[in-house]
Amino acid sequence: MPKLTEEAKEARKDAILVAARRCFADYGYEGATVARLEQATGLSRGAIFNWYATKEDLFLSLADADAARFASLWLDGGFEEVLRALLVEDPAWLGVYFEIGRRLRTDATFRERWSQRAPDFERRLEERLRALQEAGELRGDVGWQTLGRFMGIVADGLAIRRATGFETEDADALIALAVSAIAPSRRQARS
């Protein structure tokens, strides 16, 4: 059997993640059985678990990949870009996003594994928030942690609205409002 190139290995792993995302979104973590994962990916369990040691490792890889993608979007394009991306996001991604939250709330073992991973993007987001606040591009009357939580709450709310099928025909106005809420006030900008 010929050896796969690194590029081919990454492509195979990515294809598994894409198919697994749909399966986890459709059935939840518990309902995404190995048989369903096999059907979704078109691969045998051996082929799937050759790349991911366990179903939880597969799920964590998927969660990390999604979190890194949105962190990169935020770092490269800003808060407004993240909100705009959520408006067009695949509902399968949203299903996995909410499944992560559910598992963090209900599964202590998963919560521990999630906290032990060392995602560089969280540190980079923190640094970016601090730098924007120090540069006067974000409001300074609250701490960067509060700003970060606020932005997370707004993004989560938009994701929930999208996942439940509600229209957001006033998306531009909503996004402008959310962006203005984190901008420095005119008085802060002059000081």
Q: Is 12:18 a contact under the CB 8 Å cutoff?
A: no
pLDDT at 191 over 70: no
pLDDT at 49: 93
| CATH number, domain with residue 79 | 1.10.357.10
Residues 170-190 have pLDDT tens digits of: 999 999 999 999 999 865 455
Mean pLDDT value across the chain? 89
Percent of the chain with pLDDT over 90: 57
Mean pLDDT of 64-90: 89
Question: How many domains are contained in the chain?
Answer: 1
Distance CA 85, CA 63 (A): 17
Confidence of residue 69 (pLDDT cuts 50, 70, 90): confident
pLDDT at 21 over 60: yes
Does the residue 90 lie in any domain? yes
pLDDT at 118: 67
Distance CA 96, CA 28 (A): 8
The parent domain of residue 95 ranges over 6-190
Does the residue 1 lie in any domain? no
Confidence of residue 116 (pLDDT cuts 50, 70, 90): confident
Does the residue 46 lie in any domain? yes
Mean pLDDT of 95-102: 87
Does the residue 166 lie in any domain? yes
Distance CA 73, CA 139 (A): 21
